[in-house]
């Protein structure tokens, strides 16, 4: 059983919700890559995460919807290092980051208008550009 991942004082991923599996990494590494299982496959039962509000849980579902396995568990992998223990910590950090991102409420967008001066400047630039392009035509040929 793994150790719990503490995200904040109130939010944590219990150890029973984590499944850690070591598999062989892909990529370069010579004979070592064929002998040593350093890549980490960490699966997290999202329903078991403690302390999440309903809104945060909904945001987490949106953030992780492309990383779920067939049973609905979050799949996080790490093969950044040739050291298995470092890859476990990296995968745990990724989970911590995802849950922390779900805790942040997005700022509400406030509708604003373009100022009259900005609109006038934009139209003035448009008129000048159109006049410049019109002046490039054949002399005496108007449309």
pLDDT category at 142 given cuts 50, 70, 90 is low
Residue 70: inside a domain: yes
Boundaries of domain holding 30: 5-103
- Tokens 């019109």, located at residue: 134
Q: What is the pLDDT of residue 80?
A: 86
Mean pLDDT over each residue of the chain, to the nearest integer: 89
Domain count, the chain: 1
Q: What's the CATH code of the domain at 89?
A: 3.30.160.20
Residue 31 lies in a domain: yes
The answer to whether the beta carbons of residues 24 and 72 sit under 8 Å apart is no
Establish if 64 belongs to a structural domain.
Answer: yes
Q: 127 vs 135, which has greater pLDDT?
A: 127
Report which of 43, 35, 36 is spatially closest to residue 16, judged by C-alpha positions. 43
pLDDT for 143 beyond 60: no
How far is 1 from 51, CA to CA, in rounded Å?
Answer: 20
Rounded mean pLDDT, 78-90: 89
Closest by CA to 105, choosing from 52, 56, 63, is 56
CA 35 to chain CA centroid, Å, is 32
Confidence of residue 141 (pLDDT cuts 50, 70, 90): low
pLDDT tens digits for 14-36?
989 999 998 888 777 677 777 77
Percent of the chain with pLDDT over 70: 96
């Amino acid at each position: 059983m793994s150790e719990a991942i503490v995200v904040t004082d109130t939010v944590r991923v219990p150890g029973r919700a984590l499944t850690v599996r070591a598999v062989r990494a892909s990529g370069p590494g010579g004979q070592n890559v064929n002998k040593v299982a350093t890549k980490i496959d960490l699966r997290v039962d999202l329903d078991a995460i403690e302390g999440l509000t309903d809104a945060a849980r909904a945001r987490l579902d949106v953030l992780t919807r492309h990383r779920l396995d067939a049973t609905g568990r979050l799949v996080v992998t790490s093969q950044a290092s040739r050291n298995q223990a470092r890859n476990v910590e990296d995968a745990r950090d990724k989970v911590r980051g995802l849950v922390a991102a779900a805790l942040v409420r997005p700022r509400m967008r406030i509708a604003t208008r373009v100022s009259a001066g900005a609109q006038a400047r934009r139209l003035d630039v448009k008129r000048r550009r159109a006049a410049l392009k019109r002046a490039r035509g054949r002399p005496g040929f108007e449309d």
